[in-house]
Each structure stands twice: as structure tokens, then as C-alpha cells.
Amino acid sequence: MESSTPDHADHHAANNNNKKPRNNPNLITTSDHLRHVESMATMPSGAGNISHLNAVILGESLASEENDLVFPSDHFSRQAHVSSPQQYLEMYKRSIEDPAGFWSDIAATFFWKQKWGQPVYSENLDVRKGDIRIEWFKGGITNICYNCLDTNVEAGLGDKIAFYWEGSELGVDATLTYTQLLKNVCQLANYLKDVGVKKGDAVVVYLPMLMELPITMLACARIGAVHSVVFAGFSAESLAQRIVDCKPKVVITCNAVKRGSKVIHLKDIVDAALIESSQSGVSVDVCLTYENQSAMKRESTKWLEGRDVWWQDVIPKYPTTCAVEWVDAEDPLFLLYTSGSTGKPKGVLHTTGGYMVYAATTFKYAFDYNSSDIYWCTADCGWITGHSYVTYGPLLNGATAVLYEGAPNYPDPGRCWDVVDKYKVTIFYTAPTLVRSLMRDSDEYVTRYSRKSLRVLGSVGEPINPSAWRWFFNVVGDSKCPISDTWWQTETGGFMITPLPGAWPQKPGSATFPFFGVQAVIVDEKGVEIEGECSGYLCVKCSWPGAFRTLYGDHERYETTYFKPFPGYYFSGDGCSRDKDGYHWLTGRVDDVINVSGHRIGTAEVESALVSHPQCAEGAVVGVEHEVKGQGIYAFVTLVEGVPYSEELRKSLVLAVRKQIGAFAAPDRIHWAPGLPKTRSGKIMRRILRKIASRQLDELGDTSTLAEPNVVDQLIALADV
């Protein structure tokens, strides 16, 4: 990265204490909502290699890192969509003061069969004033698949590559142009209509990262069906829960997939889930199965005649054109289940119009996307990142994206950079978990590849610790690529707080400032907004187009979880610090949800899986810092009376969780517990368990309120058993 722009240098020269001079005629006068960014300090410049490269200490304090600023180069800023703090402030100010006008202007760039009515949006985020309600562009008639595909083909992009697909094995790859993708989507859409799928019906999708996954999502959207993609790492029990909740007309899967050298039999998992869901009164008549030949031949696949259908036998026979089902902006687009702090997963429901506008706009600005970019997001479509930033966001911008089926370190830790060089990837978006795991291997796995094409890096899923940020910046990006460290959630639909790579100087580990239209506030325990430099609970006041509208079939839980904790606000469930310059630093979950490698896992889900084991009497699960995964799962287990501790039993308990939820939720540690620290009312004191798990034994605090204070000493004594 080059040194700072002349503007930065002038500010610095004119103002030795690094604050913008108040008499600067170019400084925007801002109203209250901009109070945390208007006086942004312009720190000494000098981007390039950042120090502390070897300080791989996880969980380090943010304060000591705050003063490292990384400025975009002159060249990058000049060409960026948002090229300065001044331009960001102008756009942000309008987005807050005139949200209807700001978002209408953007929405008008999409195709609408019929324009939305007035008002542009209506909302109630205050439970004291009645039901929570969010609506954007209501009355507008559109279709997101049409905007992703047909409009791009009509604009002359038919021969442009929509997807490069990279298989798990080296040398196995494929491409789809926009025209080819549209034809494949239409064929599947026609089949779904033929088997009775209508507007509003649910389709459950349990596929790995084959091109058939985004094809399926788009085909559902084309006919107004609601897709519910389930990550193909979830167990049969978890899949069955989701099937029972949304009662799909069709389940779509493939027979098997390879993860590295291991074959996972997805169809067997689906079969077991369909048996379980039918026992709960929900039967599915059609299981469309793609034959993934590289992992498993069809002869070896278990089959139920009359229900199971091979994709390759039926889909190619259908016409390559399919009429679009025009839908209202507020008609549902997809369901995505996310872990709750109680056992049952929550079906997050996103609607069409606002989500479309928001996903496309956040993609364009946060990655500074240009039509010549080749974009790769390593996320799976089983998560929200794969919805907004693998499928919809890129295609709505006419982008070329890479889909990768395999593991990021297969056959060795250099695979990501091999893929980057092969496709000349310019924008690379991944999770801190992957960054940290690659950090543990030799830098030589990175530096043996050119990576010259890279222009922007991105981070998603959890806060990225400053040492991992620096390694990503210095080693992967050769100190020349800004990092879009994005904070957002399944519920928000798109980025909420993110750097705009050409505008603001960055601080390693900070998500920087709110995106357009997002009023992020930090509140205390009483829900009072805190000013200036502070830490507290991250909330959002006022709606934004990408917000989810409800939890499927449970609006009461939607209100209780997200809007009752702090009336008048959407409560994110995350903690946040704001520094003296207005930069936001996410501090992780404040409730009983653990963020493992970007996967949100409810502690209650893991606890109920443990307790389902016949020899487990009680379990309590907490999150602990993990060098690679961000957070790990630490389980305290009380056994049935008379059952001895053993390594076999420990493995058996882990297996129970793997079977019920999936391998990604398996506890990293099981700590034998003769009893759990409880209040006299029976509430488990997780604060104490977290301290024991983190070995912060001098910070246990007052234990006198416990029903049995000596339990704590027993747990400490068993820490290494």
C-alpha cells in the first residue's frame, strides 16, 4: 500500500494532535446520528507492512492495537465507489435522514414489474407500541431470480461467466455462463412446478457446494417457492427438525460428497431424516437426488422407489425457458434456520424486495466491486453468507464468482492460493477461522503462489483478532489489499458495520463504521444509549431493507428474542466497544450462543444432545477462546449416579453431539462435574463455569450465593482429569 493521500498529509501537518481542524471548510456539519464519526481522527499515515506480525496471541486486548491505521492508497481511493470519509459521510447522512429517497433511488436500478407504493417503508420496532413490523417496497412486484439472471442476459452479459466451479480434487472444474445458468435454473423450475411446487411452498435443500446448490435456490425463487437450505454438515436429527418445522413439498440432495479424502453419504442422512420427520407427522413425497459421480456412483446409493428421483434422469428433459412468478416485495424468499439459546432452531424469514436491494448494495460497496472483478467467497450456501454473498449479491451485480466444493487445506494448506491464481481472483472473502488455521502452517504455503490478482480481502463470521488481521494483510495481501471486516448476522440479511475499502483508514480488528441506512447504537444494561468511547450491547434503531421480518411460525419468539430486551431497538445479541475515533470493535455474543468458526450454536442445543446420552445426568456448555475456531465448546458433564469417568464415555458423549447436531458442534473438551454451581433457585451460574473453563481461577467472584459453594472446588480439582 502506498503512503497516505495528500488530504491525510495536510490534515496531519495542519493539526499536530491528529484531530481534524474544526474550521476545515470541507467538514460536513452533521446531526446527532453522525456524532461518532464526524470527528474521526486522522492518524499518522504510513501503510505498508504492519508491525507485530508474530504477535500471535489470541484474545489480546484491543486497546493496545488501536493506533495502527492502514490507509487506502491514492490509486485505490481514486477508483473506489466511495473514495473518502467525506463521501461516506454525505451518503450516510442522506441514508439516515431520507431513507425512503436513498433506498428508492437504488431500488429503481432493478427491474420491477410494478413499482412499490407509498410509503416506501413502514416499521414498528417498539414492542410497547404493538406488534413488531417491518415492510419495505410493499406493493412493488418483482422477482429476484429475474434480476439475477434475465436482466444480465438482456444487458449483453449472457456469455460472461457467472460461476467458476472448482471441485475438491485438483483439475476437476467447470463453468457456467449467465445464459447457461439461466437455462439450468429454468429446467429445474419447470420440474418443481411439475411435481406440484407452488408459490409459497417450501423446498428443503441439503446439498454441498456443487453448482446445483445456487441453481436450486434460484429455481425456487423463480417460481415463488421458499427455499430452506440446510448446511450439509448437519445431522439427520437436525435436518428432520427443520423439515418438520417448514413442511416442504420436496427435499433436494445428492448421494454423497467428498470432504478431503473422506466420503460423506448425504443421501443416507436425508433418508434417516425423512423417516424421523414422518414419525412426527410430516412426510415428503419427492426426494430429488443429484448423482455426484466423483464421490459415489448411483448403483451404490440406497433408493426408495416412488419417492427418490435422480436429478440427471429428469431435469435435462425439461424446457430451458420458464415463466417468472412475479411476487410482492414482502413475499417470502427464503427460510434459514439459526441456533437459538433455547433448543429449537429459529426459522429466520427473509422477504424478496428489501433483501434483494440490500444484498446487492452491500456487495457492491463493501467489496468495491467492479465488472472486471473475479470474486471468491469461501462460505457454504448453507449459511447466510452463502445466500447473500455467494448467490444473490454477486449475481445481482452481474459478477463472476468462484464456487469451491472442497476443504480449504486439501490437499495441502496452499489450496486457497492455488485457486486464487488459477482464476485470477481479485476479491477474496473468508472467515477468521480459516485465516487462523492457515497462519499455523508455514507462510511458504502462501508465498509460493503469486496472488498478484488480489485487490480486496474480506472477513466474515466473527470478530477477527488483530494478529490474524495483520497476517492476512501482510502475508496474503502483500500489504496492498484493504480488508473488509464485515459485521452482520443471519437476521440482518447483509452487512451492517463494515469498512468501505477506499474510504476510511482501517484499524486491524475493527469493523469500522455502519453501512448506509444502519443506525448502530451501543446501550447499557438499562437500554440507555451510551455516548463516545464505551462498551455495551450493540443495537440498531430504525429498520433497514435487508432485515428479517419474522421467525417462521413464531412471531412471538421473534419479538421476545430481538425486540423485548431493549424496547425500541433491534438487539443483536452481541457486545461492542466504540473507541475514541468512533470505530466499532465487536466483542462477541452476550447470550448463550457460541460462535464456532462462524457457526452460531446454541448452548441449549448441545446440552440437550449431551443429556440424551443414557449415562449423562446433566450438562452445561460454555464457550471458550480457541486458537483456530474463535470459540470452542467446553462442556461440564454430570454423570448418572454410580457411572465411573472413562475415556470411552468421553468419546461416546462427543459422538452423541456429533450425531444429533453435527461434527461442527462437537465439544472440544468434556470436564467431569460431580455437580454444577447453581443458585438456590436452581439456575446454573455459567459465569463461574466460564472462568473455570478459561482457568481464570482468581476471578471467580462471590460464590457465597451458590446452593453448594464446595462444588466449585470439586470442579477445579477435576480440571485436568
Task: Indicate which residues carry an active-site annotation.
Answer: 591
The C-alpha atoms of residue 283 and residue 262 are separated, in whole angstroms, by: 31
Q: Parallel, antiparallel, or unpaired for β 257-259 and 226-229?
A: unpaired
Contact 578, 36 (CB under 8 A): yes
Residue 303 phi, psi dihedral angles, 5° rounding: -140, 140
Q: How big is the CA angle at 309 (ends 308 and 311), to the nearest 5 degrees? A: 140
Q: Which three cell numbers stand for residue 444?
A: 511458504
Whole-angstrom CA distances from 70 to 17, 249, 338, 484, 504 are 18, 51, 35, 12, 9
Specify which residues 259 forms β-bridges with: 262
The C-alpha atoms of residue 439 and residue 471 are separated, in whole angstroms, by: 7
Q: Which three cell numbers stand for residue 63?
A: 486497546
Contact partners, residue 54, CB within 8 Å, separation at least 6: none
Cell 451510551 -> residue: 530
- CA distance from start to end of the chain: 50
The C-alpha atoms of residue 169 and residue 157 are separated, in whole angstroms, by: 30
The C-alpha atoms of residue 551 and residue 133 are separated, in whole angstroms, by: 12
Q: How big is the CA angle at 513 (ends 41 and 546), to the nearest 5 degrees? A: 165
The C-alpha atoms of residue 399 and residue 457 are separated, in whole angstroms, by: 16
Contact partners, residue 551, CB within 8 Å, separation at least 6: 346, 347, 348, 349, 557, 558, 561
Closest CA to 515 of 484, 558, 537, 472: 484
What angle, rounded to 10 degrees, do the helices at 99-107 and 353-366 form?
90
Contact 37, 89 (CB under 8 A): yes
Contact partners, residue 689, CB within 8 Å, separation at least 6: 620, 622, 634, 636, 676, 677, 715
Range 135-144 burial, b when 16+ CB lie within 10 A, else e: bbbbebbbbb
Cell 411460525 -> residue: 553
The C-alpha atoms of residue 465 and residue 463 are separated, in whole angstroms, by: 6
Q: Which three cell numbers stand for residue 380?
A: 457454504
| Helix, strand, coil % over all residues of the chain, rounded to 5 | 35, 20, 45
Q: How big is the CA angle at 238 (ends 232 and 241), to the nearest 5 degrees? A: 125
Contact 226, 220 (CB under 8 A): yes
Contact partners, residue 265, CB within 8 Å, separation at least 6: 255, 256, 296
Residue 411: cis peptide before it, omega within 30 degrees of 0: yes
Cell 464446595 -> residue: 710
Cell 482468581 -> residue: 698
Q: Parallel, antiparallel, or unpaired for β 593-596 and 308-310?
A: unpaired
> Three-class SS of residue 658?
helix
Specify which residues 458 forms β-bridges with: 429, 484
The C-alpha atoms of residue 495 and residue 584 are separated, in whole angstroms, by: 14
Number of neighbours of residue 104 by Cβ within 10 angstroms: 17
